Amino acid sequence: MSAAIDTERLTKTYGRRSRGIERVDLTVEEGEVFGFLGPNGAGKTTTIRTLLGFLRPSGGRAWVFGMDIRRRSVDIRKWVGNLPGEFALEDKMTGEELLRFFARLRGVRDLGYAYELSERLGADLRRPMRRLSRGNKQKIGLIQAMFHRPPLLVLDEPTAGLDPLVQEEFLEIVGEVRGEGTTVFFSSHVLSEVERISDRVGIIRNGRLAAVEPTHELVNKAFRHVRLDFDAAVDPKPFAVLPGVRDLKAEEKSLYFTLHDNLDEVVKLAARNRLLNMEYERPSLEEIFLTFYGESENGGEE
């Protein structure tokens, strides 16, 4: 398998005061769905815009399908469908007119897939852009990124402004194109959707890539929410002092805490009492992300 995106210490700075990205090493394999996570200003959009040649790298190197982003930006864009995070479309033109224009730019003659996507997403191709809502413009943006069936989709916040039903349909479409071998590199704030469709996630913080992990591994190795119900109230202190136990709360006959490690000792301690029920839940990716950021901000990371 070859890399769809490969970066080597990729750096983009905007001057002394404004941070961009710093020494980003990232590999996205062909055919995978890669979720790119980070809060506003972390460097997600800068990474995407640098990969596509809108921004000149300040340092490092990067390749898309083996093509150097500095030298072959136009060739790269032949293979990429891009949805920018902040974009506008010509106000006077309808979605259909714009798609025909983009098709001519790309030498695409068949707009059949564009119409199919429009049908599925419920996009109105006949109205001028100025009369469309944010969500409807987003649909046209998604269609223009996907209609030419590129081998790499780069989507910056693809579901922003879409209603839940359309989001669901979009995620369905992403699943289909992945099945056809398309690589999807997307940034999002909606962690539940990243968790649902991503093979791997990358977390960027303050312009640096803080972690890249398979989504399930990131979730599996994270903490767990634990609830223990006993037949009588128990002393919480022995649990509170166990390594790995945090945020412990005692309520009548139950204990609630998050467990970061040390399951064995917790189970053994609990077994000294009469245990009626034990709940052991994995957190959502959103919680993991927030915890990760919380730790990192406190110097727990890097």
Of 168, 191, 183, residue with least CA distance to 289:
191
Indicate whether 121 belongs to the interface with another protein (CB under 8 A).
no
Indicate whether 56 belongs to the interface with another protein (CB under 8 A).
yes
Size of the site for another protein (CB under 8 A): 48
- 159, 183 in Cβ contact below 8 A? no
Indicate whether 3 belongs to the interface with another protein (CB under 8 A).
yes
Cβ proximity to another protein: between 140 and 270 the closer is 140
DSSP track, 113-141: HHHHHHHHHT--SSSBGGGS-HHHHHHHH
Cβ proximity to another protein: between 123 and 266 the closer is 123
Cβ proximity to another protein: between 89 and 240 the closer is 89
Q: Which of residues 62-101 bind another protein (CB under 8 A)?
A: 63, 65-67, 74-75, 77-82, 84, 86-90, 92-93, 101
- Shortest CB 95 distance to another protein, Å: 12
CB atoms within 10 A of CB 169: 16
Phi-psi category of 113—alpha, beta or left, where left has phi over 0 and alpha has psi -120 to 50? alpha
Cβ proximity to another protein: between 17 and 92 the closer is 92
User: Contacting another protein (CB under 8 A), which of 105, 165, 263, 278?
Assistant: 105
Cβ proximity to another protein: between 48 and 226 the closer is 48
Q: Which of residues 130-159 bind another protein (CB under 8 A)?
A: 141, 144-145, 148-151
- Shortest CB 246 distance to another protein, Å: 41
Indicate whether 116 belongs to the interface with another protein (CB under 8 A).
no
Indicate whether 60 belongs to the interface with another protein (CB under 8 A).
no
Where on the chain is the footprint of another protein (CB under 8 A)?
A: 2-3, 6, 8, 27, 30-31, 49, 52-56, 63, 65-67, 74-75, 77-82, 84, 86-90, 92-93, 101-102, 104-108, 141, 144-145, 148-151, 181
